[in-house]
Structure 1
């Protein structure tokens, strides 16, 4: 039986994600017992005693002390609200304990914004990781020595797992169940909880918000120009000439300020506008393509899928209430 330790740090938790992931492993235990086996997992809550307001009442979580947990197989860090606050007190003790456990062979998984606490341990240095897409800019600013893959819903590297948003945490749990006990067990859990087991990207859920929280006023002016001229065929050379800046300096400053090269930023702005049109408008995909400055169907489709994770027709079918006849 594998011992799963769900860490409860000090502060405000996001309990729905925490309990949702726990339920996946509980369903794996049901699959085991229904097939004449011992339960696969022992589930433990450890760390700080938690009390918080939840659905107009008080939610209390009674935890075991970390000192009583002997050799857990896997530690989970749940999502937290205070993602910018450096851990202190009891939470810092928990992080030091996690580092010791990891070096003794325990695996560690972060769920959603739990990646911030995991990054504070130093264990994510130079490793791929995922967190919620909306926390991308803050995470990169706080932990530049990590390799944040914002489009991924999960990562698995040298005993460190990370998951993107809340539902991505369920996919990570299914992934771990399959890794431990096979596809049949994971499918049982997925069907029982109605989880899309094949989902592997959070690109389609990302709302591109412009990344203007930086100190470079000149780059912010260029960003605003891009966003106001989405129908134009913009290039890096054109922007450099218009704003009287060398191409090399523009690329360097733009990447430093926004974490995106300018050409990628231009693409993301255009695709964000296209996504909004697909969700709420009655234009055909060809009309939308021209409206965001593309005239090559193949190029538009490829860029859209790279950024949104779906083709335009797939995106419209999934997120729009309008029925249109398109062939992209």
Structure 2
């Protein structure tokens, strides 16, 4: 296997755990290979803009191994997650951008952890490509980077040498994914066991909490959203909403999608399924009972939509998250 140089950025506002988890993953592969009598694969360096970087609101001081301008070439750049305000962090880390672009054009691959995707997207390298990020940051990401194809249901994206991961600890799944590509399946399985990470997890859909996007100025659309959220137990149609707002269907649907990033039907479904998820978590009701509670009478349709949105069947979701089962 060809040696790989990995540059993990120590950016202002970075999450220390994101940096350390990435570094430890690649170093564990080296230990695995050395124990098998093979040469280590990864040279791992923490790379910064200055010789010391304060993280965690000043709680930690990190001393990068090298300044980015000293790195002539690298094979993989890891952009860690941010724990500070994203907009402030982007302003503080602008100097990374031209270096990242140069390295990518020279053949380096890129990987963003969680909301590290914001810095990677700032380079323009993600335009026209797919990307994942934490589901809580999805609306802000779409507003800032409309030319990027944000896919909130996926934990990992891999396109033209650029990788991204979903939120929080799912970044560990991306590290395993990259380890498998560079070092092989055996090394990835070994690391998954050492760090106790589910290697096959590919979707963050079960973890998404739907929060209707209301950060817009279209008042009729807001009225429709509020009506849907208050009356999710009923059967709601697009015609009912257009009559209530005295708007044409085509105009209403266009404005709704622009304001919320969902079609009207998708929004209704997501609100109903979010209520169903909460009922499943609370326990105490059968699947049919909670199905009726959120305005469905067709069992097949309910189960199909639930799985489409969450990636799990209602029974699987209940088994995973029910308070009753956790209390046993």
Pick the TM interval, shorter chain.
Answer: over 0.9
Once the two structures are superposed, residues 34-72 of structure 1 have per-residue CA deviations (whole angstroms, 9 ceiling, x without a partner) of 111111111101113311347x94333334111221311
1:286 and 2:288 correspond: yes
Alignment partner of 1:203 is 2:216? no
Does the 8 Å contact 2:15/2:55 carry over to 1?
Answer: no
Greater alpha carbon shift after TM alignment, 61-70 vs 36-45 = 61-70
Does the 8 A contact of 2:117 with 2:133 survive in 1?
Answer: yes
Determine the structure 2 residue equivalent to 1:66: 68
Q: Could you report, residue by residue, the CA deviation over 1:114-149 in whole angstroms, capped at 9, with x for unpaired residues? A: 000011100010100000000000000011010000
Offset at residue 261 of structure 1 (A): 0.7
Partner of residue 134 from structure 2, selected from 132, 135, 140: 132
Match of 2:109 in 1: 107
Range 129-138 or range 159-168, more displaced: 159-168
Q: Distance in 1 between matches of 2:105 and 2:56?
A: 36
TM-score in terms of structure 2 length: 0.94
Q: Matches of 1:38 and 1:254 in 2, distance apart?
A: 57
1:266-290 Cα deviation digits (max 9, x unpaired): 0000000000000013111110000
Asked if structure 2 preserves the Cα contact closer than 8 Å seen for 1:154 and 1:161, the reply is yes
Cα distance in structure 2, aligned partners of 1:125 and 1:53: 31
Cα pair 2:10 2:64 within 8 Å, conserved: no
Partners of 1:182 and 1:36 in 2: CA distance: 16
The offset of 1:242, in angstroms, is: 2.2
Question: What is aligned with 2:250?
Answer: 248
1:96 aligns with 2:74: no
Name 2:86's counterpart in structure 1: 83
Secondary structure at the counterpart of residue 5 of structure 1: strand
Aligned CA-pair RMSD: 1.6
Match of 2:41 in 1: 40
The verdict on how the C-alpha distance between 1:86 and 1:169 changes in structure 2, with shifts beyond 3 A counting, is closer
Q: Deviations over 1:179-223 (max 9, x none)?
A: 112111100000010000010000011111111111111111100
Q: Does 1:180 align with 2:182?
A: yes
SS in 2 for 1:6: strand
Q: How does 1:43-58 map to 2 (within 5 A)?
A: 43-48=44-49, 49-53=52-56, 57-58=59-60
Report the secondary structure of 2:54's partner residue.
strand
- Structure 1: which 5+ residue stretches go unaligned? none
The separation in 1 between residues aligned to 2:63 and 2:283, in whole angstroms, is: 46
CA deviations on 1:150-187 (whole Å, 9 max, x unpaired) are 11111000011111112221101101111112111100
SS in 2 for 1:322: helix
Supply the distance in 2 between the matched residues of 1:115 and 1:238 (Cα, whole angstroms): 39
Distance 1:38 1:113, change over 3 A: same
* Cα distance in 1 between the residues matched to 2:89 and 2:257: 26
CA distance in 1: counterparts of 2:278 and 2:91, whole angstroms: 42
- Alpha-carbon distance in structure 2 between the residues aligned to 1:323 and 1:3: 46
Question: Cα distance 1:222–1:62, how it changes in 2: closer, same or farther (>3 A)?
Answer: same
Structure 1 residue 321 displacement after superposition = 2.4
Q: Is the 8 A contact 1:8 1:63 kept in 2?
A: no
Higher deviation after alignment, 63-72 or 210-219 = 63-72
Residue 32 of structure 2: aligned partner: 31
Answer whether contact 1:87 1:117 (CA < 8 A) is retained: yes
> Quick one: distance in 2 between partners of 1:237 and 1:86?
44
Tell me the TM-score normalised to structure 1 length. 0.94
Paired residue total: 321
1:148 — aligned with what? 150
